[in-house]
Structure 1
Amino acid sequence: MFSHVFLGVRDFERALAFYRPLLALLGVAERFCDPARPWAGWQSTPGPRPLLIIGRPFDGEHEPGNGQMVALLADSRAQVDAAHALALAHGGRCTGAPGLRPQYHPHYYGAYFHDPEGNKLCVACHQP
């Protein structure tokens, strides 16, 4: 369904320092990084798409949106907990502590946070 998701950033180095460890913890492989452009992308498994890309928008301006969110998949609830803690340790801002959200479905376990650029993210596990 998706080719790629692009998240705009103002400070590429700061964003890269946030996303590299977060996506590594989730087992998502980095596909490319070009600081001169600047942009970086991570590839889903088995790949090659969809991609998650961070970078400076074409017009150079970035304003995080209200109501937009990218949800990343975790293999376990422990991985959700670890991703949330790592995100906060790397400059993220909590907008929902890890926990069950049975209003979505009985096994939905998620955590919500903003990256240092203000983009809203979720890490979710759908397993019991």
Structure 2
Amino acid sequence: MFSHISVGTNAFERAEAFYGALCGALGLKLRFRDPEAAAAAWQPTASDRPLLFLTRPFDGQAATPGNGHMVAFLAESRATVDVCHAIALAHGGSCEGPPGLRPHYHAHYYGAYFRDPDGNKVCVCCHRAE
């Protein structure tokens, strides 16, 4: 469905550490890293798309989080959701909703919500029964 999702940052090294740890826990691999351009991307191990693309905004303005915008990662298990939430907080993220069931979405929805160090809202969720 998606080719790529771009997330803007004002502090590339910090954001790269945050997303690198998160993507590693989700089984995504680094596709490229260019510190001079302040850009990096991760992809699934079995294909070249979709990409999560991290960069400073191309227009040279400050990166700002949007109200209502969120990147949601699919996790294979509830345990992975828990690990990702802990990784996010350990790498400068802030909690927007701890790991847990959200039955108002559906009976097996298990998710965690947090903000990255730049303030972008992120979710990691699992749709499988335990």
The bucket for the TM-score relative to the shorter chain is over 0.9
Count, aligned residues: 128
The one-character-per-residue Cα deviations of 1:80-121 (angstroms, maximum 9, x if unpaired) are 011101100110000000000011111000000000011100
- Which runs of 4 or more aligned residues in structure 1 lie more than 2 Å from their structure 2 counterparts after TM superposition? none
Matched with 2:27 is 27
Consecutive unaligned residues in structure 2, runs of 5 or more: none
1:21 corresponds to which letter in structure 2? Answer: A
| C-alpha distance in 1 between matches for 2:81 and 2:36 | 32
Matched with 1:81 is 82
Residue 68 in structure 1 maps to residue 50 in structure 2: no
| C-alpha distance in 1 between matches for 2:21 and 2:110 | 21
| C-alpha distance in 1 between matches for 2:96 and 2:81 | 14
What do you get for the CA RMSD once the two structures are aligned? 0.8
User: What TM-score comes out, normalization by structure 1 length?
Assistant: 0.97
Q: CA deviation at 1:53?
A: 0.5
Consecutive unaligned residues in structure 1, runs of 5 or more: none
The one-character-per-residue Cα deviations of 1:59-98 (angstroms, maximum 9, x if unpaired) are 1221110100000011110110111011001100000000
| C-alpha distance in 2 between matches for 1:75 and 1:53 | 21
Q: CA deviation at 1:45?
A: 4.3
Structure 2 contact 27–45 (Cα < 8 Å) conserved: no
Q: CA deviation at 1:38?
A: 1.3
State the SS of the aligned residue for 1:78. helix
Matched with 1:116 is 117
State the SS of the aligned residue for 2:24. helix
State the SS of the aligned residue for 1:84. helix
Matched with 2:37 is 37
User: What TM-score comes out, normalization by structure 2 length?
Assistant: 0.96
Structure 2 contact 102–110 (Cα < 8 Å) conserved: yes
Query: In structure 2, do the counterparts of structure 1 residues 104 and 7 end up closer, same or farther at CA, with 3 Å as the change threshold?
Result: same
